A = this chain, B = another copy of it.
Amino acid sequence: MPDDVAPVPPASFSLAVDAMGGDNAPEVVLDGLELAAERHPHARFLLVGDEARLGALLALRRRAAKACSLRHAPDSIPGDLKPTAALRIRGSSMRVAIDAVASGEAAGIVSAGNTGALMALAKIVVKTLPEIDRPALAAIGPSARGDVVMLDLGANLQCDARNLVEFAVMGDAFARSVLGLTRPTIGLLNVGSEELKGDERVRQAADTLRDSLFGENFRGFVEGHDIAAGTVDVIVTDGFTGNVALKTGEGALKLMRDLLRQVFTSTIPARVGYLLARPALDRLREWMDPRRYNGAVLIGLNGVVVKSHGGTDALGFAHAVDVAMDMVTHRFNDRIREGLARLSQVAPRLTDASR
């Protein structure tokens, strides 16, 4: 990919971290940063929250203390607060951290706090890239053929063809930056793989993606079962469908895990069988560990915004930091800008036609 983008002055901090968001904040956040600081020795974190409390916790964590600078924020946003109400709390740790991204002081933010508030604040304060109509929520999950990126996961419940094409551009950039793929394959989620399936919206998006943008790396329509099969690296869909699909897949895997647990405790031979198979089963468990996939990303903004699961532990939080660091290090937003520049050259008409 050509390096035709003007260099941006480096931010003072790799990431701003909302220390007060999540079920077990700030302890889990600090433990996560202790792990992250070991993995990313050159990273600098702007740690935002209750200064006195954070200072005491940092004193016990040598690596995190070295990597972090403290910034006081008097308030925090409760997990169940409506986004509109959250926007009014100017002294919240999430808000102060996001302000640091908007000012260019930090390259991105990681928060385990209120998802709706983070999305609303990020859109309003960090702002959408000028070339993008709407930011999207993306995440990585396991499949039979390696990790898969899916977006949108709920930021935009109704999408037009233009939005879907933008999601594909952003998903492509995300797979390059975070999965390290050089030429990710892309599929558009639909009810069948034949070209005539689906509504006008997905067919129009597919035409643009195939004919103008990704060529043969766009694999056309994919179906629900292609997500777990790993047929493509990037699955593109609207936020309603993506959110339902993500949770449906997670629910099916949870059902299977619960049933296996019952099976392996149901009889004495089954218990013994479990003990024998346990090392192999543990590798499977590790491979599917949700903490390895922690970190949903709001992409299409003037900065990196990563949402950690609220109930994660230190290892999960450190993974969310990994995702953010990959995006910062691999110039994620530059890649998006490059993709969007190609889009405006090849498919200006889509913009007019679908609005």
B residues less than 8 Å from A283 (CB atoms): 263
Determine if A244 and B277 form an interchain contact, defined as CB atoms under 8 angstroms apart. Answer: no
B258 touches A256 (CB 8 A): no
CB distance from A322 to the nearest CB of B (A): 24
B255 engages A277 (CB within 8 Å):
no
Q: Is A60 an interface residue (CB 8 A)?
A: no
Complex CA gap A105/B16 in Å reads: 72
Stretch from A63-71, A235-243, A298-306 forming part of the interface with B? A235-243
Query: A274–B143 Cα gap in the complex (Å)?
Result: 24
Interface hit among A34-42, A124-132, A222-230: A222-230
| A240-284 Cβ-contact flags toward B at 8 Å (1 or 0) | 110111111111111110111001101101101111111111011
Known A-B contacts A245-B244, A267-B280; A252 and B228 likewise in contact (beta carbons under 8 Å): yes
Q: Report the Cα distance A237→B191, complex, angstroms.
A: 14
Interface centre among A199, A246, A248, A250 (most CB of B within 10 A): A248
Interface flag for A158 (CB, 8 Å): yes
> Does A154 make an interface contact (CB < 8 A)?
yes
A189 interfacial contact with B, CB 8 Å: yes
B264-A251 in contact (CB<8A):
no
A180 at interface, CB cutoff 8 A: no
**Which residues does chain B contribute within 8 Å of A287, judged by CB atoms?**
259
Q: 15 new A-B pairs (CB below 8 Å) besides A248-B248, A269-B276?
A: A157-B191, A157-B198, A189-B244, A199-B240, A224-B247, A224-B248, A224-B251, A228-B252, A263-B281, A263-B283, A266-B280, A272-B273, A272-B276, A273-B277, A273-B278
Chain A to chain B: the 3 pairs with minimum beta-carbon distance, closest first: A224-B247, A225-B251, A273-B277
Q: What are 16 A-B pairs at a CB distance below 8 A?
A: A157-B191, A157-B199, A158-B199, A191-B243, A224-B247, A228-B248, A229-B254, A241-B241, A244-B244, A253-B256, A263-B281, A269-B276, A269-B280, A270-B281, A273-B275, A274-B277
